[in-house]
């Protein structure tokens, strides 16, 4: 078992997985509570468009994907707040629109460096040290923002009206949450993959909610379940030679089904 640590790509993947498993459920708990879990899926698809553009123009895909996805997040939140079109419709439009752009751009980029599939389903071999460091820095930033505004975000997640009455800047905080989600989605692409992102965001939270008695407990348990799923998934990906994202999400699904059987 410890032999996998002899491979430096596995060390990088595990380190990145650890960071992803801590930050994704932290954001996920707020998103699920406010019934907005599909935002991660939409943003992941948008981020793939950014990746496609990066591959096409020979730029570092992540650095193109970050601004593109944050813009997508702001657009989504603006649509939601201004009720131009309903929340789920805007999610659906951005989701398929993003993926369509991604596919077309990736097709154009064919012949150049096309590791596009690794962004779709996650991959353990393609994570570079620079990816890991970027992920750690961004994750630290995201966690600081979430913890610094914890009560406000909690209030908004469960009772937006009364948060507004209490004087919180609800609109600004909603944009903040969307932008933080965008950041984490892009940075987790390499490990989990764009098509499987929302599963990692939602499943550990739902599993945790079967056992937890409070919101803080839910976050704690969700991080625990995500860690198990990510590490199990990476190990399975290593030995089985399958896509990391698929293995991680399947592990999360097994945990969820287990929890549902245990805690009907």
Partner 1 sequence: MLHKRKAKTISPSSRTTSAVFEPHLHADKQLLIDVDTVSVRLGNEKALEGVSFCVHTGEFIGLIGPNGAGKTTLLRVVLGLLRPTSGRVKRTYTTIGYIPQRAAQYNATVPISVREVVELGTGRRDTARVDDALRAVQMQNVADKRFNELSGGQQQRVAIAKALAAHTEVLILDEPTTGIDERSQTEFYALLRDLQQRGITIIMVSHEVDTVLSLVTRVICLNRSILYDGLPQHFEADKYLPAYYKARHLQLHHHHEEHHA
Provide the binding-site residues for partner 1, judged by CB under 8 A.
29, 32-35, 148-149, 151-152, 154-155, 157-159, 161-169, 172-173, 176, 205-206, 209, 212-218
CB of 159 to partner 1, least distance (A): 7
Q: What is the DSSP letter of 213?
A: S
Closer to partner 1 at the Cβ: 4 or 169?
A: 169
Closer to partner 1 at the Cβ: 18 or 31?
A: 31
CB of 152 to partner 1, least distance (A): 6
Q: How far apart (Å, rounded) are the C-alpha atoms in residues 254 and 121?
A: 18
CB of 72 to partner 1, least distance (A): 22
249: number of Cβ within 10 Å: 25
Q: Would you say 129 and 255 are in contact if contact means Cβ atoms under 8 Å apart?
A: no
CB of 213 to partner 1, least distance (A): 5
Closer to partner 1 at the Cβ: 20 or 205?
A: 205
| Residue with the two structure tokens 């309903």 | 86
Residues 6 or more apart whose CB falls under 8 angstroms from that of 234 comprise 10, 13, 14, 17, 124, 244, 247, 248
Calculate the alpha carbon distances from 184 to 80, 85, 166, 212 in Å.
21, 26, 29, 24
Closer to partner 1 at the Cβ: 115 or 160?
A: 160
92: number of Cβ within 10 Å: 15
Helices 170-192 & 38-57 angle (0-180, nearest 10): 60
Closer to partner 1 at the Cβ: 35 or 84?
A: 35
CB of 248 to partner 1, least distance (A): 21
Closer to partner 1 at the Cβ: 85 or 128?
A: 85
First to last CA, the chain: 34
CB of 31 to partner 1, least distance (A): 9
């Amino acid at each position: 078992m410890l032999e996998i640590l002899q491979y430096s790509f596995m060390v990088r993947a595990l380190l990145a997985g650890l960071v992803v498993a801590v930050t994704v459920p932290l954001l996920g708990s707020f998103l699920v509570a406010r019934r907005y879990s599909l935002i991660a899926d939409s943003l992941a698809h948008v981020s793939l468009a950014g990746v496609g553009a990066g591959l096409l123009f020979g730029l570092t895909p992540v650095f193109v994907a970050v601004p593109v996805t944050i813009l997508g997040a702001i657009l989504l939140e603006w649509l939601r707040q201004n009720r131009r079109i309903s929340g789920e419709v805007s999610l659906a439009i951005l989701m398929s629109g993003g993926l369509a752009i991604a596919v077309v751009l990736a097709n154009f980029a064919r012949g150049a460096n096309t590791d596009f599939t690794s962004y779709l389903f996650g991959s353990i071999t393609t994570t570079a040290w620079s990816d890991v460091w970027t992920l750690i820095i961004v994750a630290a930033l995201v966690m600081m923002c979430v913890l610094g505004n914890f009560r406000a975000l909690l209030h908004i997640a469960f009772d937006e009206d009364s948060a507004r009455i209490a004087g919180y800047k609800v609109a600004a905080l909603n944009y903040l949450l969307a932008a933080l989600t965008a950041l984490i989605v892009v940075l987790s692409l390499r490990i989990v993959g764009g098509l499987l992102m929302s599963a990692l965001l939602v499943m550990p939270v739902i599993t945790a909610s079967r056992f937890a008695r409070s919101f803080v407990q839910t976050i704690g348990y969700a991080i625990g379940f995500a860690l198990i799923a990510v590490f199990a998934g990476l190990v399975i990906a290593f030995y089985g030679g399958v896509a990391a994202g698929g293995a991680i999400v399947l592990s999360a699904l097994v945990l969820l089904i287990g929890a549902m059987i245990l805690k009907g």
